[in-house]
Structure 1
Amino acid sequence: MRCIAHRGFAGLYPENTLAAIEQAGQRAAMIELDVRRCGSGELVVHHDETVDRLTTANGRVADMTATELSRLNIEGSGEGVPSLAEAIEAVPADVGLDLELKESGLLTDVRDRIADVDRDIWLSSFDISIVEAASEQTDCPVVLLVGDSSEAGIERAAGLGCAGLAPHWRLVDFALIERAHRADLGVYPWTITDVERAETFAKMGIDGIIADDPVACIEE
């Protein structure tokens, strides 16, 4: 069962930072990171539209330069918002990447950035239009994220040629796993925080988990 570090194990480390990536790379098979475009045009790694939740600053990522973002202090860690290029460079060579595209208009630049990267890279999104474009325009495995209707999610993911479905963990049961597997979709629930739930999903035949804490990662 593949363990995917959610934002670099956001329950333990300052999320989406280089420090989190380096630490998560020691325990996870893949690291999930959130990608946005900042005000100066570069791709950066940050979950929210604004920096308000994680820093003492205020403002939209889309209105700030990459330099300004790099100088912020994420969760008091001393770590700033990294560029996607810096984040990729920080990932250990034997660890994969799940890049969640948080907004439209990123795909061409993401595709160019990862073109020469020799590692397992997935693209994921909640946005159907982004998932559709990623499936059509890249060779990367694409995963559809869903937070509500799992049945509709399976139909959409299968119809778009996705490799996987990432539902909220509360949506996962044997029926969902069976339907997804019949459609040739891997199932990767989010966000798992404890080993008991991870063990339950492993017994159910899940393909992997998106985890906030490395304690949930079961040794294979």
Structure 2
Amino acid sequence: VVPTVPPGTMEVTAHRGFGKVFPENTVTAARRAAEHADRVEVDVRRCGSGELVASHFERVRFTTDGKGRIGELSADELASLSVQGSGEGIPLVADVADAVPADTGVMFDLKGPALADDTIAVAESIDNRVVVSSFYSDALWEARAAADDLALSYHFDVRLERNATTARLLDCEYVSPHWTVALCTDVVERAQEAGRKVEPWPVTSTAVARLLDRKGVDGIVATTPRIGRREVDGLGYAEALTEALPAVERLRALTP
């Protein structure tokens, strides 16, 4: 059982295993991220030989020294690549999940449909607290059909009313808007009033974390272990606002 987070603090999920610092979605990243986070996120895709592998991108050139698509390459071929120069290949999702200590949660982020059943099989093989997340509602519907009691997290875009309805129908425990949406709209308040926890993404600085803490979110999906509770508490609100304001203004300009 993962220890509960003290009142007034935010849970921290390691985005791609803190992929800004560690080789993202690797076994090493999962182990290292678990030292700093309440939960480790693992991206889920299906490779050409049928196994579930951990990769955010479909094209391997974005994170490795290889070429091709995840869906065209075998698990052995993917394992032979080097993620971000680490010498470590793209691993099986099961191996990444096994690397996370039992007292740290795991978030499986489905990168498309037809992944839920096999992901749930992996989840059932570990003792960690599990959340299944996705931008794709079809993927979450498949997960919900497979497991009534599974904790789901729906990644929001800017279609907030539509997203909120989908989250309600899916009975999601969590919703995950972009951090700028969380700061610029009433999505946090409305989701919490509906009984859902709000965990914005991808939080890249302590300034943004500080603003979200003040907003009252339940957790954050962070890109680096440097975004921890001590750093968030030590940053002044005015300083945080000054650092984050340009991104907030860009979102306001794009939002109808």
Q: What TM-score bracket applies, with the shorter chain setting the length?
A: over 0.9
State the 4+ residue runs in structure 1 displaced beyond 3 angstroms. none
Q: TM-score scaled by structure 2?
A: 0.82
Task: Return the match for 2:36 from 18, 27, 30.
Answer: 27
Report the counterpart of residue 162 of structure 1 in structure 2. 172
- Bigger mean CA offset, 135-144 vs 19-28: 135-144
* Aligned-pair CA distance for 1:22: 1.0
Are 1:85 and 2:55 matched, yes or no? no
* Aligned-pair CA distance for 1:215: 1.5
* Aligned-pair CA distance for 1:187: 0.6
Report the counterpart of residue 62 of structure 1 in structure 2. 71
* Aligned-pair CA distance for 1:136: 2.8
- 1:193/1:215 contact within 8 Å kept: no
Task: Return the match for 1:183 from 171, 177, 194.
Answer: 194
Task: Return the match for 2:213 from 166, 188, 202.
Answer: 202
Report the counterpart of residue 140 of structure 1 in structure 2. 150
Letter in 1 for 2:130: I
Letter in 2 for 1:132: W
Are 1:74 and 2:83 matched, yes or no? yes
Work out which of the two has the higher radius of gyration on C-alpha atoms and give 1 or 2.
2
- 1:199/1:218 contact within 8 Å kept: no
Task: Measure, in 2, the Cα distance between the counterparts of 1:21 and 1:4.
Answer: 11
SS in 1 for 2:60: coil
Letter in 1 for 2:171: G
Task: Measure, in 2, the Cα distance between the counterparts of 1:106 and 1:85.
Answer: 13
Question: 1 or 2, which has the higher strand percentage?
Answer: 1
Task: Measure, in 1, the Cα distance between the counterparts of 2:214 and 2:93.
Answer: 35
Report the counterpart of residue 214 of structure 1 in structure 2. 225
Task: Measure, in 1, the Cα distance between the counterparts of 2:145 and 2:74.
Answer: 31
Letter in 2 for 1:204: K
SS in 1 for 2:44: strand
SS in 1 for 2:96: helix
* Aligned-pair CA distance for 1:100: 0.4
Q: TM-score scaled by structure 1?
A: 0.95
Aligned ranges 1:120-135 → 2 under 5 Å: 120-135=129-144
* Aligned-pair CA distance for 1:106: 1.1
* Aligned-pair CA distance for 1:40: 0.8
* Aligned-pair CA distance for 1:103: 1.6
Cα distance change on mapping 1:120 and 1:53 into 2, 3 Å: same
Highest RCO, 1 vs 2 (Cα 8 Å, sep ≥ 6):
1
Task: Return the match for 1:192 from 203, 207, 212.
Answer: 203
* Aligned-pair CA distance for 1:152: 2.4
- Bigger mean CA offset, 209-218 vs 133-142: 133-142
Tell me the alpha carbon deviations over residues 62-121 of structure 1, each in whole angstroms, 9 at most, x when there is no partner.
111111111100111111101011111111121100100112111111112222321110
Aligned residues: 220
- 2:101/2:128 contact within 8 Å kept: no
* Aligned-pair CA distance for 1:133: 2.1
Aligned ranges 1:7-22 → 2 under 5 Å: 7-22=16-31
Aligned ranges 1:104-115 → 2 under 5 Å: 104-115=113-124
